[in-house]
C-alpha cells in the first residue's frame, strides 16, 4: 500500500487526463448504462492495482497520489489525474482509499470531509475492527456512506474474480456499488458492522500464516531425508482438501459448544504429535511448532476432555492460556 500523505498540489490535468474525463458522457450518449465513476487515493502497489482493475473494467477512474508521477502509467491507460485530494473526491461517486494506515486515511480525508457528503467511501486500508467502526461513525457524521474492505490477495491477484474482497458497512452502499467492487474480485458482504471486514481479514491472515508455517515445517522435515519440496507439496495440497472437511465437521460443534469424540479424539492426536516431535528432533528440525500443538492438546486432556474431538482445543485459545 502507498504511504500517500497530503502534499503540494500536482500539476493541472494533462491532455491524456482531459481526454479521459468525458467517458461517462460519451457512454450515456451512446445509450450505454451509466456506471459510477471511481476515484482512487493512494497509488502504492495495491492502490495502483486497484485503479488498474477499475480501468480494465471500463470505469471512469480518477487517481491521486502524494507523488504525482506514480500516476503516469495509469493516466497513459486513460485515468484522470487529480490535482488534489479534493479534486479526486469531487470527481466520483465512489472514493476508494488505500494508503499506509488509518492515520494516513484521516490526514487525507479530514481536510476534505465536507466534499464526501452524498458519496460512498470504500476504505481498503489495513486497520483494526475498532478503527473501521470509528471511521463508519465519522463518515456518517459527514453524510457519507461507508464500506470497509479487505483485499484478500496480493496486487497481481486484483481483478481476478477468484480473489475475495471482504466488505462490511452500509448495506445500501454495498448493494448500490457491488458491481463496482466486483471489478476488483468477488465481493463478500459480511454485514453492516463495519468492523467485520477487518476482523475477518486478521483471522484469515492468521490462518494463512499457520498453514504456511505448517507446510514449511513439514517440508523441512521430509526434506531432511531428501524429499524435494516440489515432490512433497502436491501431497500437502491434496491433504489440505481433507483438512477442510474436518473443519466443516468441527464448526457446528464449536457453535454448539459440544464436541463429540466420534472421530480422532484429542488424546489420540496427542499421542500422534509426539511422533512428529521425535522425527523433527532427530533431523535437527525446529520443534517449536509441534511443541505448540502438543501443549494445546496436553492442556485440553488435563482439563478432562481428552475423549472429545479436536474442535475442543478452541477453548484453549478462548482462555488466552
The per-residue pLDDT for range 202-260, each reduced to its tens digit, is 999 999 999 999 999 999 999 999 999 999 999 999 999 999 999 999 999 999 999 99
CA dihedral 163, 203, 286, 231 (to 10 degrees): -20
Cell of 285: 528440525
Three-class DSSP labels, 160-225: CCCCEEEEEECHHHHHHHHHHHCCCCEEEECCCCCCHHHHHHHHHHHHHHHHHHHHHHHHHHHHCC
pLDDT for 113 equals 98
- Could you give all domains of the chain from N- to C-terminal order, each with its CATH number? 15-192 (3.40.50.720), 224-318 (1.10.1040.10)
* Angle CA 283–286–292, to nearest 5: 125
Mind listing the pLDDT tens digit for each residue in 32-91?
446 899 999 999 999 999 999 999 999 999 999 999 999 999 999 999 999 999 999 999
Q: What percent of the chain has pLDDT over 90?
A: 87
Q: Compute how many other C-beta atoms are within 10 angstroms of the C-beta atom of residue 156.
A: 10
Are 199 and 129 contacting, i.e. CB atoms less than 8 angstroms apart?
yes
Q: At residue 15, does pLDDT exceed 90?
A: no
Q: At residue 165, does pLDDT exceed 80?
A: yes
pLDDT band at 321 (very low <50, low <70, confident <90, very high): low
Rg value, the chain, Cα: 24
pLDDT for 182 equals 98
Q: At residue 131, does pLDDT exceed 60?
A: yes
Cell of 241: 482438501
- Across all residues in the chain, what is the average pLDDT? 91
In angstroms, the first-to-last Cα distance of the chain is 34
Distance CA 169, CA 285 (A): 45
Are 95 and 120 contacting, i.e. CB atoms less than 8 angstroms apart?
yes
Question: pTM for the full model?
Answer: 0.87
Distance CA 86, CA 273 (A): 58
Q: At residue 7, does pLDDT exceed 80?
A: no
Are 262 and 301 contacting, i.e. CB atoms less than 8 angstroms apart?
no
Amino acid at each position: 500500500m502507498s504511504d500517500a500523505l497530503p502534499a503540494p498540489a500536482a500539476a493541472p490535468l494533462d491532455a491524456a487526463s482531459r481526454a479521459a474525463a468525458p467517458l461517462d458522457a460519451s457512454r450515456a450518449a451512446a445509450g450505454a448504462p451509466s456506471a459510477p465513476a471511481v476515484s482512487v487515493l493512494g497509488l502504492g502497489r495495491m492502490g495502483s492495482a486497484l485503479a488498474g482493475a477499475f480501468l480494465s473494467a471500463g470505469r471512469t477512474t480518477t487517481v491521486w497520489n502524494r507523488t504525482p508521477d506514480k500516476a503516469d502509467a495509469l493516466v497513459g491507460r486513460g485515468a484522470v489525474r487529480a490535482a488534489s485530494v479534493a479534486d479526486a473526491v469531487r470527481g466520483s461517486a465512489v472514493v476508494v482509499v488505500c494508503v499506509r494506515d488509518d492515520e494516513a486515511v484521516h490526514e487525507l480525508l479530514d481536510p476534505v470531509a465536507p466534499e464526501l457528503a452524498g458519496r460512498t467511501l470504500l476504505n481498503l486500508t489495513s486497520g483494526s475492527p475498532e478503527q473501521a467502526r470509528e471511521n463508519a461513525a465519522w463518515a456518517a457524521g459527514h453524510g457519507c456512506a461507508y464500506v470497509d474492505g479487505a483485499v484478500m490477495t496480493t496486487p497481481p491477484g486484483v481483478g481476478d474474480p477468484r480473489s475475495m474482497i471482504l466488505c462490511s458497512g452500509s448495506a445500501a452502499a454495498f448493494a448500490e456499488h457491488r458491481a463496482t467492487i466486483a471489478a476488483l474480485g468477488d465481493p463478500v458482504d459480511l454485514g453492516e458492522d463495519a468492523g467485520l471486514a477487518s476482523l475477518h481479514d486478521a483471522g484469515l491472515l492468521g490462518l494463512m500464516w499457520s498453514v504456511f508455517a505448517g507446510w514449511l515445517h513439514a517440508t523441512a522435515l521430509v526434506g531432511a531425508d531428501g524429499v524435494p519440496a516440489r515432490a512433497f507439496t502436491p501431497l500437502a495440497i491434496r491433504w489440505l482438501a481433507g483438512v477442510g472437511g474436518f473443519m466443516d465437521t468441527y464448526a457446528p460443534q464449536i457453535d454448539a459448544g459440544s464436541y463429540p469424540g466420534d472421530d480422532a479424539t484429542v488424546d489420540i492426536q496427542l499421542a500422534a504429535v509426539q511422533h512428529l516431535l521425535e522425527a523433527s528432533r532427530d533431523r535437527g528440525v525446529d520443534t517449536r511448532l509441534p511443541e505448540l500443538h502438543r501443549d494445546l492438546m496436553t492442556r485440553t486432556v488435563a482439563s478432562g476432555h481428552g475423549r472429545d474431538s479436536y474442535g475442543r482445543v478452541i477453548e484453549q485459545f478462548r482462555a488466552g492460556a
